[in-house]
Copies of this chain bind each other. A is one copy, B any other.
Amino acid sequence: MPTQPSKTLETFDNPAPAMDYTIRIEIPEFTCLCPKTGQPDFATIYIDYVPDERCLELKALKLYIWSFREEGAFHEKVTNDMLADFIAACQPRFMRVTGRFNVRGGIYTSITAEHRKEGWQPPQPVTLP
């Protein structure tokens, strides 16, 4: 039986909760509809996060991304909405979501939004020479 698009995100136990470590996810196959013209839009979605107790499960994430296929969605709104859904699902210590949209009429746009858990301090960057 074919799988279905779904807004339900799933998570699993962070296997190393004692660490502040980074998970990076890149999804080049996001597509939604332009809410003005009804025509397809395409974007690459980037998710960088520091998990707390739960991690995003990738199979459910794929169905979640698929769920935008028939929705009209403004660039600015859909990026902020995805961030809100991911936060609700896994309560990360830090998360950054970027939507890089395909060129339209000679103009390229991308949107980036961040969330930081209250009280969480980012790791002091160690820049090795």
Q: A8 — which chain B residues lie within 8 A by C-beta?
A: none
Identify A126's interface contact among B55, B66, B77, B96, CB under 8 A.
B96
B111 touches A29 (CB 8 A): no
Chain A residues within 8 Å of chain B by Cβ, number: 63
Number of copies: 10
Identify A106's interface contact among B27, B111, B127, CB under 8 A.
B27
Q: Do A31 and B31 form a contact, CB below 8 Å, given A111-B22, A129-B126?
A: yes
* A interface list, Cβ under 8 A from B: 2-4, 14-16, 19-29, 31, 36-40, 42, 48, 50-51, 55, 58-59, 61-62, 66, 69, 74, 76-77, 79-80, 94, 96, 102-114, 116, 122-129
